[in-house]
Chains A and B, each alone.
Chain A
Amino acid sequence: MTDTHDHHQPPEGALPGALGAVLADPDLWEDPEPGLEDAVAGEIGARAGPAGGAPRRRWPGVAAAAAVLAVAGVVAGVAITVGDGPDGSGPDDGGGAPAGVEVALSGTGLAPGAGATALVIDTPLGTRIDLDVDGLGPAPEGSYYEAWMSDRDGRVGVSAGTFHLRGGDGAIELWSGVSLAEYPQLTVTLQEAGETAGSDRVVLVPG
């Protein structure tokens, strides 16, 4: 049978008209910009840390976590309001919802004299942690610090990012995909490059 009536409709089992209309829409077929894949992979890879390619950020386990966090307990952060005034103060609106929680961290035996203040803020992009560190030495070459948010039992820990302080103390911006309400225990460990799990070398704990 020759194709004497070459037509635009499919030859059999005609598509629903609505589907045909979608298939004819140029917006359906447009591909993402070239280079976007590399940008996405690069940004995630940079935030994921140096291990790359291996499953990592496994929490050290209940026992190790419990040993470290037993005295810390659940973080009882101080709710604050991040103002938008020139001096950081907010409008006196008589009790607006707090925009962040301030958590105090202190050094363990591995980092005596160290301390930090973490301002934990829920944003539409995730949980931002502004960590102001004081007295914590630079991570030796081949190692780095990692911040963790763990649940109340200390069973599940989620990495909030890494930093090294080899340029000195200062303010560090970290991000997490989980909320402080669900993962209220904030700690910092010292990691060796290439480690595939959270270490038990905890340097900062709540308190």
Chain B
Amino acid sequence: MDDLIARFRAGEDEAVRTVYRRHAGAVGTVARSVLSDPELVAEVVQQTFLKAWQAAATFDADRELAPWLYTIARRTAIDVARSEGRPALGGHALEHEVGVDAPSFERTWEVFEVRRAVDDLPEREREVVRLAHLLGFTHREIADRLDVPVGTVKSRLGRAHRRLGAALGHLEWAANRAGPGAVQENERR
């Protein structure tokens, strides 16, 4: 990590792209929590990484990069939202109503962390999580879509859930984990 930060500070192309790929998805969730305009979301993502690079000289490489990026992203998103909320110059009407009614710091942080945990999953596990949770597919439907046995889907989903649980155990949800009763209830349907 120390070497990556040093190379990022230096603006080395590969290091910049590595940092971007690891965190851009999560940074995007922060931007979308405040802004609905895709162009403004992209602007926030771009500005976040640029600001992070500009301030990298003062970043302590022993610290985690993600919380620092999160703070920059949230501040940038709110600043952009406020700028958009000012009367436009030249009489141009705002195309989108942009409010600065941002979710709480903690809530946005939780979503940021979930996206990071999802991005860290192996691709095959990430895909079954996406199909199961985002698209609501059953195990059978996922198995048919991926052309794998249902047992494979269950195994991948189980491993993914365990990884997510481990990665996100520091969040408040860990204290509210549902017990085996929830699974049994579903099986009776």
Contacts and interface: CB of A to CB of B under 8 A. Distances in A.
Given A12-B158, A23-B129, A24-B136, A36 B173 contact: no
Interface stretch (A26-34, A95-103, A105-113): A26-34
Interface string B145-189: 000001000100110011011001000111011111011001111
A27 B133 contact: no
Nearest to A21: B133
A33 B38 contact: yes
Given A19-B173, A23-B134, A45 B11 contact: yes
B53 A44 contact: yes
B6 interface: yes
Interface string A62-99: 00000000000000000000000000000000000000
Nearest to B135: A24
Contact of B133 (A13, A24, A176): A24
Contacts of A29: 118, 130, 134
A53 B17 CA distance: 12
B134 A15 contact: no
A57 interface: yes
Which of A6, A22, A26 has most B Cβ within 10 Å? A22
Contact of A28 (B114, B132, B186): B114
A28 B32 CA distance: 9
A39 interface: yes
Contact of A32 (B10, B45, B179): B45
Given A5-B189, A11-B183, A54-B10, A177 B56 contact: yes
B54 A16 contact: no
Interface of A: 3, 5-20, 22-33, 36-37, 39-41, 43-45, 47-49, 51-57, 124-126, 158, 175-178, 182
Given A28-B114, A177-B51, 15 more contacts: A7-B138, A8-B138, A10-B157, A14-B180, A17-B178, A19-B173, A28-B118, A30-B32, A40-B45, A45-B11, A47-B50, A47-B53, A53-B13, A56-B10, A182-B58
13 contacts: A5-B186, A8-B138, A9-B182, A11-B139, A12-B158, A16-B173, A17-B176, A18-B173, A23-B129, A25-B134, A31-B25, A32-B42, A57-B9
